[in-house]
Amino acid sequence: MNILIIEDEKALAHELEFFLLKNNYICEICYNGTSASEKIAVNLYDFILLDLGLPDYEGLDLLKEAKKANPEVACIILTARAEVNDRVKGLDLGADDYLAKPFSLLELQSRMQAITRRKFGVTQSIVDLDGFLVNITERTIMHHTDQINTITKKEFDLIAYMLLHKNRTLTRAQLSEHIWGSVINDDYDSNFIDAHIKNIRKKLSVYAPADWLETVRGLGYRIKTNV
């Protein structure tokens, strides 16, 4: 998942980045509201971690911009402000949760996972795709009792992201931006995504056909499941 960290305390921003990168997230950092506003206008993020006490911007105004640009973005407010009114305003504007500083990184991770489950309707960590058992939490794939060790980190990221958006067609641009954290230019070689999908299918086909991983001609890819 692609995360934007908006935090003017550089030490905390880098601590968050280091922790999230270790947990397989893609991160960008903004130390002020001006640069964050520019990024929000051109990039789609899955999560925004937003400090309200920015030196040059009202954090709640930035939250409004983020939700207008991408209504589906999840947002957790990180702030030293303790006033109840700030919490209520943020939640009313579309924030998903609120953490007062100082906070535990493990608690942040737990809250992000809870928001993800709620937003995408994922009620369990293990999903059965025609005999392929995908464990989103442990980041493993098994076929019945056989563990599949050939899937790379990025290949698993692709599967997990499409599974969060199950039965929804995702374009190559969406997959690239949310998995690799980059915006595709017009001259982008779409074979980059296609090659990864081809490799996933090839590795899984050793065990059984992965018919649930579908190509939507002219559009992109999707995972089709009744789960």
**80-137 tens-digit pLDDT:** 765 667 778 888 888 999 888 889 999 999 999 888 888 776 667 788 999 999 998 8
Does residue 201 surpass a pLDDT of 50?
yes
Same domain, 104 and 158: no
Domain extent, residue 151, equals: 126-223
Same domain, 91 and 142: no
Same domain, 116 and 188: no
Closest to 130 measured CA to CA, from 202, 205, 216: 205
CATH number at residue 191: 1.10.10.10
Q: What pLDDT sits at residue 23?
A: 87
- Domain final residue, candidates 120, 148, 181: 120
Buried/exposed 6-18: b ≥16 CB within 10 Å, e otherwise: bbbeeebbeebbe
Cα within 13 Å of Cα(73), Cβ side: 29
Same domain, 158 and 133: yes
Same domain, 88 and 185: no
Same domain, 46 and 93: yes
Does residue 62 surpass a pLDDT of 80?
yes
- Domain final residue, candidates 96, 120, 144: 120
Other Cβ atoms closer than 10 A to 136? 19
Same domain, 90 and 174: no
Q: What pLDDT sits at residue 24?
A: 83
- Domain final residue, candidates 54, 89, 120: 120
DSSP state letter for 184: P
Please state the length of the chain. Answer: 227
Distance of alpha carbon 62 from alpha carbon 105, whole angstroms: 23
| Cα radius of gyration rounded to whole Å, the chain | 19
- Nearest-10 crossing angle of helices 153-164, 172-180: 120
Say what percent of the chain tops pLDDT 90: 54
Q: What pLDDT sits at residue 210?
A: 94
| 3-state class percentages of the chain: helix first, strand second, coil last, to nearest 5 | 40, 20, 35
Same domain, 22 and 95: yes
Buried/exposed 195-211: b ≥16 CB within 10 Å, e otherwise: ebbebbeebbeeeeebe
Residue 36 CB-density burial (10 A; 0-12 exposed, 13-18 middle, 19+ buried) = buried
Same domain, 97 and 9: yes
Other Cβ atoms closer than 10 A to 121? 9
CATH number at residue 22: 3.40.50.2300
* More confident: 43 or 125: 43
Same domain, 7 and 113: yes
Number of domains, the chain:
2
Mean pLDDT of 190-219: 92
